[in-house]
Structure 1
Amino acid sequence: MGGCHLARVSEYLPYLSLSILMRSILFVILFLAGGNGFARNQADSSWSHQPTLHLSGLADVYYVYDFNQPASIKRQAFLFNHNRHNEFNLNLGLIKLYLEHSKYRANFSLHAGTYGNDNYASEPGLLKNIFEANIGISLNEKNNLWLDAGIMPSHIGFESAISMDNWTLTRSLLAENSPYYSSGAKLTFNPNEKWELAGLILNGWQRIQRLEGNSLPSFGTQLKFSPNESTTLNWSTFIGTVDPDQLRRMRYFNNFYGQFQLTDRFGLITGFDFGVQQEFKGSSDYDIWLSPVIIAQFSIDQRWKAAMRAEYYQDQKGILIPTETRNGFRTSGLSMNLDYRPSPFLICRIEGRRMTGGDAIFDTKTSTSRKNFILGASMAIRFSGGF
């Protein structure tokens, strides 16, 4: 009986440690925000002010030619944006309603395109077409403590699914293989203009619907520091599992990045992902994956910009990118793109990208190759208005 009791206690240790961690984070945020702010917030007359409803939309159409000429139109299993060969297509079409108020907010958006087809493949039914659906409420008088819940953009990384907001046309390998979206609740505190702290409870690693058979929620944190308008430093984490309870391997993930506008014309982004996952349930041994990236952007004039990216991704055990090859996924990449932006609402882009693997992992017409080179082009447009 004693041995069984100890086994049951050890089984619940992950729950206890994660619960203690998240409670500590939430307590710190709430304490820093000021405990008596909630009572004052209830009496704030601004709650009765009329909110503003915004409508916005986006369309990102593209063409990519893969010089490996893969047999399939879909180029790579580990890419989720602009991932069709020799075909004109829609990467992301988006329509969004945004409700804005000083005390509450809401977002609802639907999407279509090859990005959604590839990245939401595990979601059931109509959930595949929900890009964002969340509600937020201010928890104090200063409006610097917010609780948001629903389907939200991920707190991880510097690249989003919206191409116009990124420095490069295609996404970095580390962005493509970390969450673009999440579903859960997020508590965000901004003590001042320089700092942002957040704690999250999530349904899983990029999941809207919780994995069947998994009873353990996932957790996340974010710490962002912007000492001035030219610099942003960020550390985001994820703690959880991607398995059902009987197979549960714990996953611990860190994302670091810094964004620097060094001059009026020259900017730099450096990023690094590092994650570990148990080899099997209860194991003290962990498999690791990591990815560094650096992106430099140069503004030629008000309409033209150029960017260059160097990156590396190592996942030898195939945690996120299984290859069934001797060296696993060990890939370096270089890319260069040129952007023409005649209007803040329209951008035309072209990019060349070369990737080199440790093994022959890139599909060709008849076999596989260690190397891959593509040329891609895109036009994206955005509109918005208020009611």
Structure 2
Amino acid sequence: MNNFLITSAFVAGAFTASIAQSTDTTQALTVLSQPSTATAPTTGLMVSGYIEAYYSHDFTAPKTAQERPGFLYNHKRNREVNINLAFVKAAYTSERVRGNLAIQVGTYGQYNYAAEQALVKNIFEANAGVKLSKTKELWLDAGIFSSHIGFESAISKDCWTLTRSILAENSPYYLSGAKLTYNTPNGKWTLLGSVLNGWQRVAKLPGYSGPSVSTQVQYRPSSKLTLNWSTFVGSDRPDSLKQGRFFNNFYAIINPTGKFGVILGFDIGADRKPIISGDRRVGNGSYVWYSPVVIARLATSDKSYVAGRIEYYNDKNGVIIGTGTANGFQTFGYSLNYDYAILPNALFRIEGKVYTSKDAIFETNNSLGKTNTSLTTSLAISF
């Protein structure tokens, strides 16, 4: 434990010194938990960047374990200083045309893009768009882009908690395809429809003819409330299994710019039971998984926040998270984190997290246990 504290202090101090002369170009404490990067200018080319260094210490896992549990994909490396996500982004914007290209490195890409071809593993974002109307905010974009599903993104500084929720880790962070987006003139409604290559896939899954489709309906009646419903219809299985997927993501962000705010999220998905031989199915109906989450955040000063999270993920049939145990994956998560903006574009964070599972699924020194405890620190800068 002493070694961990010394290492964490060293990392924070070293990075603080290295960024002391950074220029203030973005705000470290983002008010909305939406996938985003630095705001693009009205027209022209803008280059921006982001880097997040982290140290995660899993107190439950064996000392030789180098990775966090298998259902996690961010801040994955255990007991070592590493980079979760770093990217440089070029964004071009004009009145009727826009485009983005961001090249990434870090363990986020290593684990989330593990199934992709080598050529695209370092692409965080690559898309082109055109405005279809001279008077309406109607855009057609195509390429690889951040997912519109969920309130958390891979960019940690844009999220209320340092680490991602279980539901975010196990739903798409990125999507590939084409999307049509319409924003109403009053700015209160966003409507999106997309045709995709699959469930977080750049290249289609072998044996799946697709395509998949996804939608989003978002309503923002005021700066104090955002309501969102996103869907995915398609599959993440070969056609031979005839296993369609229908997924819903709901969330509400309440008072995000105030001293106290709350996020309420709920995911529910269903995969049709597979064909096992000929036209015979395992059974009638579908395998269902779901996950509620509540996050509360309190501003303790103009530079700091405290946030707490309670979540639950039920996937007893192992559709998304396989365990091979009698009850499958039925896990509660609890976390508490503290954020401090060292500079407007430099954010230090520390978070403690505990998982408790119905079955013994967590690796320990002796066998498997029902609980997992960890502490994660990070330092993120943007420019």
Normalised TM-score (structure 1): 0.84
> Where does residue 95 of structure 2 map in the other structure?
102
> Where does residue 221 of structure 1 map in the other structure?
215
> Where does residue 81 of structure 1 map in the other structure?
74
Is the 1:79–1:176 Cα contact (8 Å) retained in structure 2? yes
The alignment yields a C-alpha RMSD, in angstroms, of 1.3
Matches within 5 A, 1:135-150: 135-150=128-143
Is the 2:61–2:362 Cα contact (8 Å) retained in structure 1? no
Is the 1:187–1:200 Cα contact (8 Å) retained in structure 2? yes
Is the 1:91–1:114 Cα contact (8 Å) retained in structure 2? yes
CA distance in 2, matches of 1:263, 1:236: 23
CA distance in 1, matches of 2:144, 2:77: 27
CA distance in 1, matches of 2:368, 2:255: 40
Cα-to-partner distance string for 1:349-384 (whole Å, 9 max, x where unaligned):
00000010011111123321100110110000000x
Cα-to-partner distance string for 1:34-62 (whole Å, 9 max, x where unaligned):
xxxxxxxxxxxxxxxx9411111111000
Offset of residue 335 of structure 1: 0.3
Is the 1:189–1:197 Cα contact (8 Å) retained in structure 2? yes
Higher relative contact order (CA closer than 8 Å, sequence separation 6+): 2
CA distance in 2, matches of 1:376, 1:263: 25
CA distance in 2, matches of 1:248, 1:119: 25
> Where does residue 63 of structure 1 map in the other structure?
55
> Where does residue 205 of structure 1 map in the other structure?
199
Matches within 5 A, 1:216-365: 216-261=210-255, 264-281=258-275, 284-365=284-365
CA distance in 2, matches of 1:256, 1:262: 17
Structure 2: runs of 5+ lacking an equivalent: 1-41
Is the 1:237–1:252 Cα contact (8 Å) retained in structure 2? yes
Offset of residue 129 of structure 1: 0.8
Is the 1:221–1:236 Cα contact (8 Å) retained in structure 2? yes
Residues 254-263 or 306-315, more deviating: 254-263
> Where does residue 18 of structure 1 map in the other structure?
none
Is the 2:223–2:257 Cα contact (8 Å) retained in structure 1? no
Q: Secondary structure at the residue paired with 1:164?
A: helix
CA distance in 2, matches of 1:55, 1:365: 47
CA distance in 2, matches of 1:155, 1:263: 21
- Highest CA radius of gyration, 1 or 2? 1
Residues 188-197 or 315-324, more deviating: 188-197
> Where does residue 53 of structure 1 map in the other structure?
45
Is the 1:346–1:380 Cα contact (8 Å) retained in structure 2? yes
Structure 1: runs of 5+ lacking an equivalent: 1-49
Offset of residue 278 of structure 1: 0.6
Normalised TM-score (structure 2): 0.85
CA distance in 2, matches of 1:366, 1:88: 26
Is the 1:196–1:225 Cα contact (8 Å) retained in structure 2? yes
Q: Secondary structure at the residue paired with 2:116?
A: coil
> Where does residue 25 of structure 1 map in the other structure?
none
Letter in 1 for 2:213: F
Cα-to-partner distance string for 1:238-284 (whole Å, 9 max, x where unaligned):
00011222123000000000001177300100000000111114754
Residues 327-336 or 66-75, more deviating: 66-75
* Pairing partner for 1:151 from 139, 144, 148: 144
* Pairing partner for 2:86 from 63, 87, 93: 93
CA distance in 2, matches of 1:256, 1:107: 27
Count of equivalent residues: 334
CA distance in 1, matches of 2:351, 2:142: 37
CA distance in 2, matches of 1:143, 1:361: 52
CA distance in 2, matches of 1:264, 1:206: 33
Q: Secondary structure at the residue paired with 2:205?
A: coil
Q: Secondary structure at the residue paired with 2:121?
A: helix
CA distance in 1, matches of 2:246, 2:164: 23
CA distance in 2, matches of 1:209, 1:143: 32
CA distance in 2, matches of 1:97, 1:153: 15
Return closer, same or farther for 1:226/1:368 CA change in 2, 3 Å cut-off.
same
CA distance in 1, matches of 2:95, 2:369: 54
Letter in 2 for 1:357: S
Is the 1:66–1:86 Cα contact (8 Å) retained in structure 2? yes
Is the 1:242–1:248 Cα contact (8 Å) retained in structure 2? no
Offset of residue 72 of structure 1: 2.3
Query: Which consecutive segments of 4 or more residues in structure 1 shift more than 6 A?
Result: none
Instruction: Give identity over the alignment, percent.
Output: 49
Q: Secondary structure at the residue paired with 2:57?
A: strand
